[in-house]
Structure formats: C-alpha cells, structure tokens
C-alpha cells in the first residue's frame, strides 16, 4: 500500500462552516443530527468524520479509512485538539 500525506494537522469544522453545496452533499444526515457531526476539507472535498471506519490494521498510524474505490481511499488520524491529519492511499 502506498500512502501520501503531508502530515499537516487541519482543524475540523462544523455544519455551519460548510458551503451550501457541501451541505447538500450530506443530505443523508438528519436535520436534528447535523450540529453533532464534525467535518474536514481535504483535497477539494468535504468529509464527515462519521464516513470513516476504524482501521485496526492501519493503527497506530491511522485511525480511520474512507474507501473511494476498491484500491484507493482517504485516511484520517484523529488528534485531541479538534484537528486531524489526512492522507490518501492506493494499493
């Protein structure tokens, strides 16, 4: 597996920080739950942290993975100060 990251922490953002277009992409989130979700922008896309699943086989380096295809995806490393480090992989 090849992983690319710049190891730059990025702050998570709230629902109200998303653009109208980005909010439309998350229409699957119930209106009552929107404020409880954290989001992050990475490589031109907004992601809800709830889209990532635990990746025990990638720990301790990465906490979650969001597959974008059978062989590619986005990785997330959570931090204690409301920031995350993002990466991409391909296998």
> Residues 35-81: pLDDT tens digits?
999 999 999 999 999 999 998 888 889 999 999 999 999 999 998 88
Q: CA distances (Å), 65 to each of 8, 32, 41, 51, 57, in order?
A: 17, 26, 15, 8, 11
- Banded pLDDT at 1 (limits 50, 70, 90): confident
Number of domains in the chain: 1
Q: What is the pLDDT of residues 5-25, one digit of tens each?
A: 999 999 999 999 999 999 999
For 82: left if phi > 0, alpha if psi spans -120 to 50, otherwise beta; the answer is left
pTM of the model: 0.90
Please tell me the predicted confidence (pLDDT) of residue 48: 97
Are 10 and 83 in contact by the 8 Å Cβ rule? The answer is yes
Residue entry with tokens 């295809």: 69
- Can you give the residue range of the structural domain that contains 48? 2-90
């Amino acid at each position: 597996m090849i992983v690319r990251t710049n190891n730059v922490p990025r702050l998570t953002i709230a629902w109200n920080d998303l653009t109208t277009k980005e909010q439309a992409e998350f229409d699957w989130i119930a209106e009552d739950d929107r404020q409880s979700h954290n989001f992050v922008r990475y490589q031109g896309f907004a992601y809800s942290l709830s889209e990532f699943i635990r990746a025990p086989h990638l720990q301790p380096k990465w906490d979650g993975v969001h597959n974008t295809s059978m062989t590619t995806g986005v990785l997330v490393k959570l931090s204690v100060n409301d920031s995350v480090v993002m990466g991409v992989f391909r296998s």
